[in-house]
A and B are shown apart, each in its own frame.
Chain A
Amino acid sequence: MDGLLIALGWVGLFAPTALGAIGSIIGCARAGQAACGAMLDLEGGYGRYVGLSALPSSQIIYGIVVMFSLQRTITVENAPGLFGIGVLAGLALMFSAMYQGACCASAINVSKRKPEIFGLSVAPAAIVEGFAVFAFIFALVLSGDIPPLPASGDMATPVTPLPTP
C-alpha cells in the first residue's frame, strides 16, 4: 500500500509537466495547422498567425513551475496531496491548452476572412488562458501546505528524494 501511495506521489509530481506538455502539443498543433492553412489563402501577414499559434505553449511552462513547487521528498504522508494537486493541475493545464488551440485556430480562421477583428477574435483564447493561470496560481498556493518532510519519525516513511536541480 505504501508503495502505491509513493508511486501516486511521483505521478502527481510529474503530472503538471506531462499533462501540460500534452495539452501544449495538441493546442499548438491545432493552431499551427490553421496558421499553415491560412498561409495558403493569404498573400502576406502570416507572422501574427504563427505567433498566435504558439499561445498554447504557456501551459507547459506553468506545468514545469508547478512541478518544481511540488518537488520534495515523497512520503506516505505527502504523496496523496502531491497526487491530487499535481494531477488536477495537470488536467486543467492540458484541457486549457487543447481548447485554447481550438480558440486560436478559430481566431486565425475568422480574422483571415475579416482582418479588422483579429484583436477581438483572440479574446476567447485569452479568457481560456486566464483559467489556466487560476489553476497554476492556486496549485502553487496549495503546494505550500503539503508537508515537505515527515511529520514524525515513527509515522512517516521517507523515500528517495528527487535530486536538487
Chain B
Amino acid sequence: MALRTYYDLIASLPGLPPRHDVERPPISEVRLRERLQLLDMDDAAVVRQWMDFVHWDRQSLDHTDDDVARAYHRLQQEITNPTLWTLIERRLDTRTLVAALRRRRAGLSPPKGVGQWVEKIRRNYHHPEFQLQGRYPWIGRFDQLIGQGQALAAERMMFEYSYQQVGELQPADPFAFEAVLVYLSRWELIERWTSLDAVAGQQRFETMIKETLGEYTQLFAADPIPVE
C-alpha cells in the first residue's frame, strides 16, 4: 500500500473540535467533497468505500442480520486499506455490542452480529459487560442508561467514546492519507450527532429497538421510553 501524503488537503480542512457534541460540523458536506477532489484516484476510491459504508450503515433499519453478515464478509474482502477496515470493524463491533445489550435487556438470545466479539459475547452473555469492560469501559453505564430509558444520554456516551476511539487511529504523520480517513470518520460522527435532536433521538432509538428486536418490538410499544 502506497503511503501518500496530502499536505494541501489536510491543511485545507478546518480543525475538528475535541468533542463530537457541537452545534454544527466545522465544514459542510458539499465543501468537504470539493476538498476531497485533491485526493489521487486510488485514495479517492478508498474514501468512496468509506462513504458507501456510511451510507449503508445509516440505512440500518432495512438490513436483516443476514444482510449485515453478507455485507461484513464482502467488505472484508474488498477493503485493502487497514485503517479503513479498522474504522469499519470498530463501527460494526459497537453495533453488535449495542444490539447484544438491548437483546439481553429484552430477555432475548445473543444477536447473530458480526465482528470480532460475537463469540465472546455469546460465551459471556450473562456477564454484565460481556467481559469486555477493559476494551469498552462504557458498556456498563450504557446498559444502565438504556435501562433508565435515557436513550439520548446513552447515545451521547457512545458517540463520545467512538469519537475518542477514532482519534486514537491518527497516524504519526499528520499529513498521511490515513489522517484523511480519521478526519472523515470523526466528521461523520459530528455530522450524525448534530443531525439528532430530542425528537430525532427518540425516533432513532425506536429504530434501533426495531432493528434489534424485530418482531418483539411490541414489547416496548405499551410502555414508551421517555427521552430526557
Residues of A that sit less than 8 Å from B by CB: 30-31, 33-41, 102, 105-106, 108-109, 112-114
Contacts and interface: CB of A to CB of B under 8 A. Distances in A.
Contacts of B15: 112-114
B71 to A, nearest CB: 34
Given A33-B7, A34-B7, A40 B12 contact: yes
Contact of A102 (B13, B14, B175): B175
B174 interface: yes
B3 interface: no
A47 to B, nearest CB: 16
A105 B7 contact: yes
Contacts of A39: 12
Interface centre among A35, A40, A106, A113 (most CB of B within 10 A): A40
Given A33-B11, A34-B11, 7 more contacts: A30-B5, A30-B7, A30-B175, A34-B7, A37-B8, A37-B12, A41-B14
Chain B's interface size range is 10 to 19
Contact of A106 (B13, B35, B174): B174
Interface string B90-132: 0000000000000000000000000000000000000000000
B51 to A, nearest CB: 21
B9 interface: yes
B175 A108 contact: no
Contacts of A102: 173, 175
Contact of B12 (A31, A41, A106): A41
Interface of B: 5, 7-15, 35, 38, 173-175
Contacts of B175: 30, 34, 102, 105-106, 109
Contact of B35 (A40, A105, A113): A40
B14 A109 contact: no
B7 A41 contact: no
Contacts of A41: 11-14
A108 B8 CA distance: 11
17 contacts: A30-B7, A33-B8, A34-B8, A34-B175, A35-B11, A36-B8, A37-B8, A37-B12, A38-B11, A38-B12, A40-B12, A40-B35, A102-B173, A105-B11, A105-B175, A106-B175, A109-B175
A38 B9 CA distance: 9
A109 B173 CA distance: 13
Nearest to A110: B15
Contacts of B14: 41, 113
Contacts of A34: 7-8, 10-11, 175
A136 to B, nearest CB: 26
B122 to A, nearest CB: 45
A92 B5 CA distance: 23
A37 B9 CA distance: 6
The 3 closest A-B pairs by CB, nearest first: A37-B11, A37-B12, A33-B7
Given A40-B35, A102-B175, A109 B8 contact: no
